[in-house]
Structure 1
Amino acid sequence: MSSVEDLPAELTGFVGRAGELAELAELLATGRLITVTGTGGVGKTRLALRAARAAENRFRDGVRAVDLSALGDAELLDHTVAEALRVPDHTTRGPRAALSAYVADRELLLVVDGFDRVRTGCAVLVAELLRRAPALRVLAAGRRPLGITGERLLPLAPLPVPGDGVRLFTERAAAVVPDLAATEAGGAQLIELCARLDGLPLALELAAVRLRALSVADVLRRLDDRFRLLTGGDPTGPVRHRALRTAIGWSHELCTPAERLLWARLSVFAGRFDLEAVEYVCAGPDLPEADIAESLAGLVAQSVVAREADPDGGTRYRMLESVREYGASWLAALEDGQRMRRRHRDWYLGLATWCELDWFGPRQAEVAARVAVELPNLRLALDFSLDGLDEDPAVGQYLAGTLWFCWVGCGRLAEGRHWLARALEASAEPSDARAKAMWVCGYVSLLQGDSTAAVSVLQECRASAEESGNAAATAYAVHRLGCLALVSDDLPVAERLFRDALDRYRRIGELNSNVLMGQVELAMAVAFQGDLPQAVRLAEDVRDVCGDHGERWTLAYALYVLGYAAWLSGDPVRARRLTEESLAIDHAFHDLVGAVLALELLALVTEHEGAAREAAVLQGAAGRLWDSVGLRLFGSGHFNAPHAICERRLRERLGDRVYAAALREGGRLSFDEAALRALGSPRRHTAAFPAPPKGRGELRGKPPTSARP
């Protein structure tokens, strides 16, 4: 399921901690919940991740890590953990239930880092997951224990001085000053400096950077000043806490005024961010945009900001949480937090708008990757827009609706429903933004199998849009009401609504992935009524338009329709080729609805090729995915026909016992494993089995289930 490649890469050498690593390995071998505790900056995260890498091979389903340090809203805890685990779930059940089901039969190590701001909620979640999943183990890292019964603790102290503390400082200093003299006096001063910083790794690393401009003696003298300046907290508190604040505050004092201001303003970001975002959000008369790059480079040089390379060759930045919080305290002192959060929101609102436009085009895969990286900041923008601090909730409604492609196209239905519900609750005032949020909410609810909620919000959307003259929202509401009719097997009504919606789209000049999906769904409605040739013409037209625009997501559904038509026409070779291409696209976008339909069809093709047991394994894998999608086969007789026929044939050929065993084998496959299994499954083309029907018999009127209803 995973590998060490899923864990954040180490950017610097790991120093010391041999004893702690050995103890942690022993705890992982005997305990189910181990928490590494200690002050901020002591190295909890590095130790936990290093131990996880070492233990990876001991867990059949590998290791996953979730960073909660940027999470301030406990309501998003389940969504954040589900995102890190890549939990496939489109159902109406809550993310907690989806998480529990996902880990239930997995042998997995979950690393939970930085839970302090959502500690109570995290403790409840971890306890529930451990109860539900006997083979799950959790390695947590935080300033305090989670407080769960059975929790094993490893308190992490600062590095010893002399010893590893000095070695860490020396290695980091050597990267700044390669010819650092190791004279006796210099060595004594190094030991004194490390001791004054209590061997705290973050403090040592921040201090090492100072050697770029200062000598060790200079650092010691300035450190004296900083201690006196920054010991205004509780004098009875742990010295190491004051040392961390000293190290950070001292770096702050050594920054230029522009760097200090930028540091404060950067605190409004979560997770990773790029230079363009910084230039827009943080620039102003007192910090010109032209000076941002230089100031940011200064913060990078002082280890206040970490620079990271993107897989696409770009550059992103990140702040340690303790450093970010220090900047946030200065931003609050400047009384500029509200304005900065609004500018942050505006940038990510613009980003979402451009991503929605780019989704309909050749950059779909890039958009999917971009929103995955930007999700922490998009969440912050949504939260600001909907938490009552913003004067116009319509902005949040627009943002939640504009991200439909993130919720639907990238497999985040549960989180999308969360934000869309908040958006609609924020204000009942009619507006174009609210109308968009309504039809998107109806779309998401429908895909989760919640038809009652979907019909309510879509009918409200249609009535409101018609009253206000919002032609686009009316078309989208009619379209999605057609989807409801389709999955309810009311095919004449579905066809009428789809044709009405497509006509409305044409009149207003609307063309995008949703519009094309409406035509694919129309193809399904007419095919289910027996008109296969018209369905093929509609799907081929969608395929051509997708080719003209570089669209891939909707293309996968059109290919599925054409693949199924090829099967009905007696061409299983072409059916396999088209359906495999459909599945490969769905897998790349993490689109469970399209992927599970493709798996069902490939199972049918595989059975025809003579690999009956492999076909049963694929059906088992599809069954597990249906549990994540929602209502199995949408509760529709039309959608169920291919599965039912394949199951009947497999039971006849394998017998119930072998068939059931193969289903269980497929049911143990993850989404990634199931897709790779289907795309590489053994095939044996043979004349020993009859060709599929040519549009008649068992599957008459039940062709391709494009089914993003």
Structure 2
Amino acid sequence: MSVSLGPVTELVGRELEGAALCERLRDPAVRLVTLTGRAGVGKSVLAAEAVRETGAEFAAVSLVDALNAADAADAADAADAADAVNVAGDGDAAALLEAAGPLPDGTGRVLVVLDGCDHAARPAAAGAATALLADPRVVVLATALEPLGVYGEQLLPLAPLPVPAPGPRAAADPEELQEVPGVALFVRRARDADPSFALTLENAGAVVELCTLLGGLPLAVELAARRLRLFPPHLLLSRLRGRTTALGGGPERAPERHRSLAALAEWSCRGLDPAATGVLRQLSVYEPGFCMPAAGVAAEDAVEALLERGVLSVVGVERGELRLAVPEPVRSYCRDGLVESGGEAAALDAHAEHYRLLVGSAQPALAGTEQSSRLRELAAEADNVSAALRRLRERGDGEAVAAVVLGCRLPWLAQGRLREGLEWCDAAAEPGGPALTDALRARLADMSGVFALALGDPQEAVRRHRRALSLGKGVGDRRQNALVSAHLGAALLRAGDVPGARAVLVTSLSALESMGVTRGAAAAAASLAAVTRADGDRRQALELLERAEEAFRRIRDGRGLAGALRISAALALEGEEPERADRALRESLRLYGEIGELSELPGLLEEFALLLLRTSPAQRPRCVRLLASADALRGRTGAQVPDEWRSEAERARTELSARLDWTDFAVAWAEGVRMSAPTAVAEALSAPGPSRRPVVSAAAEAQSLTPRQVQVALLVAEGLTNRHIAARLDISEWTVVNHVRQVMRRLGCTSRVQVAGAVGRWA
């Protein structure tokens, strides 16, 4: 029974796979090629295209629908299907051979296509392929969910089409999005259904989320695009989110499994043994990106079988462990099965318990040598941790919710999940919620203050930290109260209350050091260094920073060390030491890159860009990219920046736009907006360091300065500070800073000491 593999369909995103398949079919050494992949991935379409491309090169081509020819309905019994592997006298394999037709006489290669070698038809297809390959002229092309297991078989796995990666590109302009195969297929099929459809800035976000939800599975994307006749993208997305099996409406003449995602999912899972089905249902409650231990060691065989079938997919690797996902629509189908069997509650509870233990066990490592790897692991599991929190809250387990929320302080800060962290702190401690001890409420209030400060609201942070201190007084936990005081001091400094910040931080630092709380003391010392810097006491600030950096290095706290290095860089710049500032900022960038930091990274990128603009003017396009990346990354966290810092960044942008050609500026800005956090870090670290200018004569040095700059240089050589120079010349300190920078630039100096040396040569 020869059949057509369907109408001509434009292939989207399959150019490489199509070329590879045609090349194998043309290769005389290749006898059997099996296209494998999930149901709905487009195996039959690609096979049909390959036949159209290479069919004229064969003496004969036979197209066989293996499902119908083998009469799969009569071969559903597992024992009968196993017996069908023996071709001799087997009716099902014989039916396939009969459908393929008699081989032509003479020479020339013959192509036999066995389409749909799945489930009960698979053993028969394997037997028929073995029999056909006995003739050296025959080449067999099969499509199947799993390999046929025939000797000499070559596999060509098909994956779903790529979809936009999360992050900046997801918000790219429509023209760029249509270059992503998953989106391109959606748009083309949407126009088939509605010729007026166009991808626009307004609907691009919903379309991207739809394609991502459906995992780029071609059949699912096409079915979704067909529904645009009834629903706009955002309404369709809301209907499908959480239950993609509701999507149907496939062509009436298509096979049943291609008419709806529920039928497709049922077909994908058909024939799985009970153990594998049970594991798959348990895993369906996990958000995409869970690790192998979630399935349990005893389930490894089942996981392997699920991976082979394609109902479980690998989405990455973290700490040497595969990260897995149950793709849609199989996930929705299995969740429905859990509900019907009454096992959903137990599965959700097991999931919540797994992630409660995971967060709890990660706490010691977050403060030590494994900080980087654990932060990356928890970032990969962020969606599952959030789902576990929702389940714990549904159960009314307030203490468990509080414990997980408190354990997520550092991971959420690093991931930039600031608003989410603040909301969970409030939800866990809300007055109408489960009863919690004052100690837990105090810690939650303190943590909420940390998130409020990271979001750019120091006044709110101060209020929350003071509430934490109020709750903590009755508890009598000196260590916790000292930590809260350190956080309060940092918030007071950001709020502009320098004296208040100093008073609180001096007390908390003394208490933390006396109790041996190394990490807390180091953080308090770094904050106090920032306070003393604001007071103009450079020497004490340097001493405090040296203590903080040494402690952070000793306990391997990369995030804390990076923050202290940023303060060191600011001090170095005030001391006209750009090389030292450059070294500090580069190390801070490397540390943030290692832990996947997002909350503090935008500010650091801006600081580095401003230093680069000052020391390497030729790097202006790179500065634009870094400033744009910082702006885009900050938008993802929802954080605000102080007005004075925003003004400095805006001045830099204005200067760059004035000095660069407008087109060059716009291109560099667009490139920066699309950068991911790791790319932005790499972009910054690849910049050249500060370079010194060639030595010129003393007379030329003096003549290169204006009279006012000569005055400033002479006073710098006397050892006066910027403040003293301003008072001596009756000008503002900011004007002195600008003059000193110009003097150093024109003299090719990198420090005030070098300026003094240059002045000495004039004499």
* Kept in 2: contact 1:112–1:138 (CA 8 A): no
Cα distance in structure 2, aligned partners of 1:150 and 1:327: 25
Cα distance in structure 2, aligned partners of 1:633 and 1:553: 20
For residue 371 of structure 1, report the CA deviation from its aligned partner. 1.7
For residue 500 of structure 1, report the CA deviation from its aligned partner. 2.8
Who is 1:634 aligned against?
642
Of residues 386, 410, 422, the one that matches 1:379 is: 386
* Kept in 2: contact 1:395–1:433 (CA 8 A): no
Q: 1:302 to 1:685 in 2, by over 3 A?
A: same
Q: What are structure 1's unaligned runs of at least 5 residues?
A: 5-9, 22-41, 53-62, 66-83, 88-98, 116-125, 162-194, 201-237, 280-288, 703-709
Of residues 228, 232, 251, the one that matches 1:148 is: 232
Q: Tell me, yes or no, if structure 1 residue 696 matches structure 2 residue 722.
A: yes
Of residues 370, 375, 382, the one that matches 1:363 is: 370
For residue 352 of structure 1, report the CA deviation from its aligned partner. 1.2
For 1:268, give the aligned amino acid. Answer: V
Q: 1:497 to 1:263 in 2, by over 3 A?
A: same
Q: Tell me, yes or no, if structure 1 residue 15 matches structure 2 residue 43.
A: yes
Cα distance in structure 2, aligned partners of 1:332 and 1:105: 39
For 2:279, give the aligned amino acid. Answer: L
Cα distance in structure 1, aligned partners of 2:173 and 2:534: 38
Q: TM-score, normalised by structure 2?
A: 0.57
Who is 1:429 aligned against?
435
Who is 1:419 aligned against?
424
Of residues 538, 555, 563, the one that matches 2:544 is: 538
Could you give the per-residue CA deviations for residues 172-230 of structure 1, whole angstroms, max 9, x where no partner exists? Answer: xxxxxxxxxxxxxxxxxxxxxxx6xx464xxxxxxxxxxxxxxxxxxxxxxxxxxxxxx
For 1:537, what is the secondary structure of its paired residue? helix
Between Structure 1 and Structure 2, whose CA radius of gyration is higher? 2
Q: Tell me, yes or no, if structure 1 residue 251 matches structure 2 residue 271.
A: yes
* Kept in 1: contact 2:558–2:591 (CA 8 A): yes
* Kept in 2: contact 1:411–1:592 (CA 8 A): yes
Who is 2:164 aligned against?
64
Cα distance in structure 1, aligned partners of 2:560 and 2:198: 40
Who is 2:167 aligned against?
85
Who is 2:474 aligned against?
467
Cα distance in structure 2, aligned partners of 1:578 and 1:435: 35
Of residues 582, 587, 591, the one that matches 2:588 is: 582
For 2:440, give the aligned amino acid. Answer: A
Cα distance in structure 2, aligned partners of 1:458 and 1:539: 24
Q: TM-score, normalised by structure 1?
A: 0.61
* Kept in 2: contact 1:600–1:618 (CA 8 A): no
For residue 348 of structure 1, report the CA deviation from its aligned partner. 0.6
Cα distance in structure 2, aligned partners of 1:127 and 1:539: 56
For 2:416, give the aligned amino acid. Answer: G
* Kept in 1: contact 2:492–2:498 (CA 8 A): yes
* Kept in 2: contact 1:269–1:377 (CA 8 A): yes
Who is 2:611 aligned against?
604
Who is 2:692 aligned against?
685
Could you give the per-residue CA deviations for residues 522-568 of structure 1, whole angstroms, max 9, x where no partner exists? Answer: 11111111111221222222222222222211211222222333333
Q: Tell me, yes or no, if structure 1 residue 318 matches structure 2 residue 325.
A: yes
* Kept in 2: contact 1:345–1:385 (CA 8 A): yes
Q: Where in structure 2 are the equivalents of 1:534-573 lying within 5 Å?
A: 534-573=540-579
Q: 1:318 to 1:439 in 2, by over 3 A?
A: same
* Kept in 1: contact 2:566–2:588 (CA 8 A): yes
Who is 1:344 aligned against?
351
After TM superposition, the structure 1 stretch with the greater mean CA deviation from structure 2, 325-334 or 339-348, is: 325-334
For residue 616 of structure 1, report the CA deviation from its aligned partner. 6.2
Could you give the per-residue CA deviations for residues 390-422 of structure 1, whole angstroms, max 9, x where no partner exists? Answer: 132221122122111122122222332343343
Could you give the per-residue CA deviations for residues 21-78 of structure 1, whole angstroms, max 9, x where no partner exists? Answer: 9xxxxxxxxxxxxxxxxxxxx99xx99953x5xxxxxxxxxx724xxxxxxxxxxxxx
For residue 486 of structure 1, report the CA deviation from its aligned partner. 0.8
Q: 1:424 to 1:86 in 2, by over 3 A?
A: farther
For residue 296 of structure 1, report the CA deviation from its aligned partner. 3.9
For 1:85, give the aligned amino acid. Answer: G
For residue 622 of structure 1, report the CA deviation from its aligned partner. 7.4
Cα RMSD over matched residues?
4.9
After TM superposition, the structure 1 stretch with the greater mean CA deviation from structure 2, 424-433 or 520-529, is: 424-433
For residue 302 of structure 1, report the CA deviation from its aligned partner. 5.1
For 1:247, give the aligned amino acid. Answer: W
Q: What are structure 2's unaligned runs of at least 5 residues?
A: 1-12, 14-34, 50-143, 146-156, 187-196, 215-219, 238-246, 695-700, 706-711, 724-732, 739-763
Q: 1:158 to 1:437 in 2, by over 3 A?
A: farther
Who is 1:479 aligned against?
486
* Kept in 2: contact 1:341–1:384 (CA 8 A): yes
Could you give the per-residue CA deviations for residues 293-344 of structure 1, whole angstroms, max 9, x where no partner exists? Answer: 3444454455544456626432343323343344434433453433332232
* Kept in 1: contact 2:622–2:668 (CA 8 A): no
For 1:497, what is the secondary structure of its paired residue? helix
Matched residue count: 525
Higher relative contact order (CA 8 A, sep 6+): 1
Q: Tell me, yes or no, if structure 1 residue 131 matches structure 2 residue 202.
A: yes
For 2:545, what is the secondary structure of its paired residue? helix
Cα distance in structure 2, aligned partners of 1:619 and 1:395: 41
Cα distance in structure 2, aligned partners of 1:302 and 1:660: 54
Who is 2:405 aligned against?
400
* Kept in 2: contact 1:451–1:484 (CA 8 A): yes
Who is 2:282 aligned against?
265
Cα distance in structure 1, aligned partners of 2:201 and 2:418: 25
Could you give the per-residue CA deviations for residues 223-280 of structure 1, whole angstroms, max 9, x where no partner exists? Answer: xxxxxxxxxxxxxxx6x6674465356425xx14x4444344333322133332222x
For 1:448, give the aligned amino acid. Answer: L
* Kept in 2: contact 1:520–1:558 (CA 8 A): yes
Cα distance in structure 1, aligned partners of 2:291 and 2:666: 46
Who is 2:56 aligned against?
none
For 1:310, what is the secondary structure of its paired residue? strand
* Kept in 2: contact 1:112–1:139 (CA 8 A): no
Q: Where in structure 2 are the equivalents of 1:586-665 lying within 5 Å?
A: 586-588=592-594, 589-597=596-604, 599-604=606-611, 606-611=613-618, 613=620, 617=624, 620-621=627-628, 624=631, 628=635, 633-635=641-643
* Kept in 1: contact 2:454–2:639 (CA 8 A): no
Cα distance in structure 2, aligned partners of 1:505 and 1:128: 57
Who is 1:495 aligned against?
502
Q: 1:429 to 1:478 in 2, by over 3 A?
A: farther
For 1:377, give the aligned amino acid. Answer: N
For 1:412, give the aligned amino acid. Answer: R
Could you give the per-residue CA deviations for residues 153-174 of structure 1, whole angstroms, max 9, x where no partner exists? Answer: 999958999xxxxxxxxxxxxx
For 1:556, give the aligned amino acid. Answer: A
* Kept in 1: contact 2:414–2:599 (CA 8 A): no
For residue 614 of structure 1, report the CA deviation from its aligned partner. 5.5
Q: Tell me, yes or no, if structure 1 residue 448 matches structure 2 residue 455.
A: yes
Who is 1:235 aligned against?
none
For residue 663 of structure 1, report the CA deviation from its aligned partner. 6.9
For 1:317, what is the secondary structure of its paired residue? strand
For 2:271, what is the secondary structure of its paired residue? helix
After TM superposition, the structure 1 stretch with the greater mean CA deviation from structure 2, 335-344 or 477-486, is: 335-344
Q: 1:564 to 1:602 in 2, by over 3 A?
A: farther
Who is 1:524 aligned against?
530
* Kept in 2: contact 1:623–1:667 (CA 8 A): no
* Kept in 2: contact 1:614–1:662 (CA 8 A): yes
Q: 1:337 to 1:133 in 2, by over 3 A?
A: closer
For 2:201, what is the secondary structure of its paired residue? helix
